[in-house]
Each structure stands twice: as structure tokens, then as C-alpha cells.
Structure 1
């Protein structure tokens, strides 16, 4: 059994989610110790336990140590069954992070699967459901993984209650990726959205976002919209259509946070990515490497920021002997990743 030190590198929940996916795909059991050892609340928290539960159910796995606060867990998968699955996080915990765990597993099931997850769609420190549907899913299709994502209801902190459905089609071996330059930007689209808040907030967010993106040499189309949710919330989501792919960025509203600040956070992420001339945004780089490890052949891509999540994912993949890799670039700066 493979033993992984959960305090390595970024030392967060991402390490566990990646290990669960790889364990299932490669049919290799693992034991993780020192889980989130340096965090304010060390050990497994509810959102991490939901990822464990989801991976256990879709693989009929044997699990020990899967309780709140556990700093050690053992996971032994049996078989990837596929089928229809429902998971309720019960809080505003990130739906996207649960899906990050089970989508790669179910892509290698023997039949099509469907997943329904309720929780938070737009919450801090995770990609949004919009990002998964409009950037990640089409990017995954380019390398051979076919998924369809439906956003039935949005969920914001602290109320949650968002609902996302995913159809997962069985994949063959993914194709390698070569994307070292962003190329021409064709257009920027997006939405300034509110739920259970005045439309004026969405309009202020939209107006300021468009103003800040005027320097870009492409059309910018940001719509104002209302979304269905149980609790109040607001966000700006922006999607770049580039010559060689897609990129996406989001900023979230919060009580006392001016709409113009939300707009600036989203727009500045876009401008920084464009200035880097990199092909992949940080979220896509972080998520796509697991699939590239399953490829035959070498993949190489540039990203506008080398993140701790990316480096941690690559390290975990190496522990499972899923691939070899090289990173050219400093933490927090643009860089190039090669996966063998």
C-alpha cells in the first residue's frame, strides 16, 4: 500500500482529492497521514469527507479513518461501477471540489454515468460551476473526455443549496495536450449576476468590468442577470475565447464589499492572464494534469501562474507513478509544465 504524507507541499484537501481519483483509476490502495496537519482545523472536514464518501461509493471501496478530524485515512478501491449518483454536501461546501474527485474516476467506468451534487456553486477558494461548465468541460473534450454539466440552481455561502448535474461519458485514453502559447484573444464573454439582491448591484459590477477590460483588443460582452438561489449572492464570471483554448475567472461579492471591487477582482485576473501570453489559466492547469497523466505520449503547456495546488497535484501523481513531470517557472509566476 502506498503511503502519502498529507502535509507535503500545499498540504490541503487537494492532495486527498487527487489521491482518491488516482487510487480508483489505477486500482492502487493508499494510506494518507498528517492530513491538513498545518491548517487551523487540521484533519478531515465535512467537505473533504464528502469527497471521500463519493469516491467510496463509486468504487465500492473499503475506507478506514473517514471521520471528522481524522488525520489519517486508508482507501482501498474495488471496482469503478458507473451509474447514477446523488451527493448532498449539506452545507455551502464546494460542489466543484466533489466533482473534481469523481469525474475522472467515472470517465474510466464501463458505462455512462450521471452525478447530482447539492451544495455551493460559487464559494471562495474553488472554481465555480460556471467555470466547470464553460471552461473545464470544453477543454476536457479537446483531449478526449466527454462530460456535460447542468447548473440547475446556484448556491452561495452560507446557505448553499445549489444543484449541479453532470453526465459523464466513458473515455478512452485521453490525448496529449500541446499548448504553449495563448494566441489571439477572440472575445471575452461573461455575466454579472445577483441572487436575491437588487439588480443595481449586478449593473454596477457589469459596468465597471466592461470599463476595465476596454484595453483588450477584442469584443467584450458582459451580461447582467439574475440567478436562482436560496440565499443572497453575487459574482462576476468572465470567459476568454482564445486562439488555442479557453480561460475563465470569477470574483465573488460579500456583505460590505462594493460591486466595483468585485468587478475589479475579476477583470484584473483576466488582464494578468492576457499579459502572461500563457495558454492555460491556473485553475485549468491544476485540473487538467491528472487527465494528461493518463495519456500516451508527452504533454506540454504554459500557465499564467504556477500554483501550490498544481505542484501538489503533480507530486501526488508522481507518488502513484502515474507520470514524470518538469516545471519551468517560479511559484506564483507564469511557467511551463511538461508531463511524460
Structure 2
């Protein structure tokens, strides 16, 4: 329990380093097919289908046969939400919405990354720091990082001194480039979990990077993540063109099934109502399973209403200012106790 409490504190503080760049809707020709997430009532599956995936494939087959190419299942969601992702035209969306068991058909959005800064500024390290009485920062906690992937050769990700992987872990390691699923064309990037952007590597090292002695023309000292004893489970969903909602939802779905304890996501959100956001729905499913989700706040201020990821059941954190001078202030916005008609309706619907 102590480790779990510490891990929550660590991840809250780690996410204080988020700075929002922007978020954008996926711009595609509305006459062509684009990715959608089809939310389904799980219990509505007819008994003659052998599995939900079988049922979902049948629903796609019922659409117009004029152009069946490109209408295969992109993802099947089974854990934090129920349904599937597919490429659909506007006419096919209307047909899908009329089918029995369909809750909603929500277009996938493209989000942009958030990023950066420092444990010393937060007063965590040193003899009088918050961590001075702890020596196992995040031990045996598995953090699911949803981002651009990772550069595994970095010294920050050495597993020297760590014990065996917790037995509850059910995930697998994908190292090749074949069958790496995404709705965004990765162009010349690595079609694998390897990080060509460096953002995911940076975020992962902030969260749980091992202690590394640094000596260079820029700085000397010891670099360390917030919880160097924690485990990292990396889910690549972001590319140069952005991060697709279909991929983000699939990563959350898989992360919970794999056995992570915490999910961290430093990616901006879309400005849409919760009930129209597949990302909000997926995080609701994660929380419902009993796992915390930490998201970046963003820094589009001084514009009003500029908070990114204002989802009530997600712990959204960030800071204003930088670690220079005394004006910087930290904020942790816990909105999971915010209950209003909108949230009540959302909970009933989903």
C-alpha cells in the first residue's frame, strides 16, 4: 500500500512537467473513408456469434458492398471500452449508427504531444527532500506510458539492480516492424516501438529513468527519473503527424489487460464534450477498473479556458512558469469528485 501511495505521488509530480503544444482535429475529405471508433453495448451480442470480434466483422459486412476495400477492423476494444475501430465513409457511419447494439460512432481525432522539466525544482531530492525517507521509489509499480515509443539503449532504462518483472504482468514485447498497427501513415519513421521523435523517451526517463552519472560541457551530476525503481510499459501511438484517438484508445485497452498499475499520457486533448470523446470514454473505463490516469495540463495560457485534458476522472497536472525566480506555482487538479448532470449522464450512458 505504501508503494502504491508513493507511486501515485510520484506520478502526480512527474506529470507537472507537461507543456502543451496544441491539438488538432483530423482533417480528411469527408467524402472519403476516415477512422472511427464504434462504441458497442457489449451485452447486445447475438448468441449465434462466437465472439464479439465475429459480431463486429458481421456489422461491417452489412454495410454497402459497393466498395468493401479498406473496411477491415483496425482494432477491437475489450477492456476499458467495448467496440471496434474501422475506416468508414459518412454514409457508412449513418448505416452503422442504425444497427442494433451501436451506442455511438465517433470520429478519431489527431492530438499533439505535451512535454518537459525537473525534480530538484520540486524539492524532491536531497537530504531534506520529499523522498529522503524512501529508498524504493516506485518499486514493482508498472507505469504504462502512452507516447512516441522509446529508445531502449538509453542508460536511463538500464534494469541493473531491479528484481524480476512482477508476476501480474501479462504483456509481451514487440520488437519487429511487421504488423505495427496505426491509423496514421508513419512515413519514414520507425514502424516499431522505437522512438524517432524522442518525446516518449524523454517522458519515460522523467517518470522512471534510472540514476545516470552525467559529466559534460552542459552539466555535471546525477540524472534520475521520478521513480527509478518503477517498471515501464511503453505504448507507441504518436508519430510526426500526431496521435490518433483510435491508437490511444487501443493502447489504454491493452495496457489495462497487460497489467499496468498507472497510465501516464502527455498528449493534448480535443475540445469536445466528454460523451463525444472516445479518449474520455477510454479513460473512464480505466478508472472504472481501478487504475489512475495522469494527464498533462498544457500551457496555452494566458488564453482563457486553455486547460488541456479537463476530464473529471483523470488527474490533470502541470505548472506555470519555469524554475527561475519565485513566481512559479504548481497545480494539481483533482476533478474526480466533480459530479454534475453532465457527468451523471455520461456515467449512465457508458
Q: Structure 2 length normalisation: TM-score?
A: 0.27
By relative contact order (CA 8 Å, sep 6+), the higher-ranking structure is 2
Q: Which has the higher helix share?
A: 1
- Which has a greater percent of strand? 1
| Structure possessing the higher radius of gyration over alpha carbons | 2
